[in-house]
Amino acid sequence: MTDKDRDDMMLDALFAEARADTAAEPSPDFLAKVLGDAEAFQPTAPEVAPLPERSGFWRSVLAVLGGWPSVSGLAMAATAGVWIGVVGSTSLIEDGIGASLLSAGQDSFLSDLDTSYAFVVE
């Protein structure tokens, strides 16, 4: 632990000495020459023509709906709705739960819906 403290103190002393050294700063003439050379070697970007605006019926529908994230959410909701509508209705009626809930002539109780509490009377 003490070696690390000593190393930190040595580094702090070196950094303080480097900050105090004013001879290490380059002259403004040297900086201007370096920057001039750097700008001379910079490649120039070619002019790029903008792409023509593509229009069509499906692009306008996509833009009205809000782009691909919105369309994918709508597609997922539609798929889930069709799946719940087709699979959910048949399983409710076939299991007897839907039939007991939809029957108007009988009273339904929670114990009627849950078949795991089957009481055997002998």
Over the stretch 65-111, which tens digit does the pLDDT of each residue have? 898 999 999 999 999 988 888 776 655 555 555 555 555 555 555 55
- Compute the distance between CA of residue 93 and CA of residue 100 in angstroms, rounded to an integer: 9
97 and 113 Cβ atoms separated by less than 8 Å: yes
Closest CA to 97 of 113, 117, 115: 113
d(CA 29, CA 34): 9
Residue 11 clears pLDDT 70, i.e. is over it: yes
Q: What percent of the chain stands above pLDDT 90?
A: 21
Residue 122 has pLDDT above 50, yes or no: no
Q: Give the Cα separation of 89 and 4 in Å (integer).
A: 72
* Averaged pLDDT for residues 47-51: 86
In degrees rounded to 5, what are phi and psi of residue 24? -80, -10
| pTM of the model as a whole | 0.33
Whole-number Å distance between alpha carbons of 70 and 66: 6
* Cα–Cα distance measured from residue 92 to residue 83, given in angstroms and rounded to the nearest whole number: 14
pLDDT higher than 70, residue 51:
yes
Amino acid at residue number 94: E
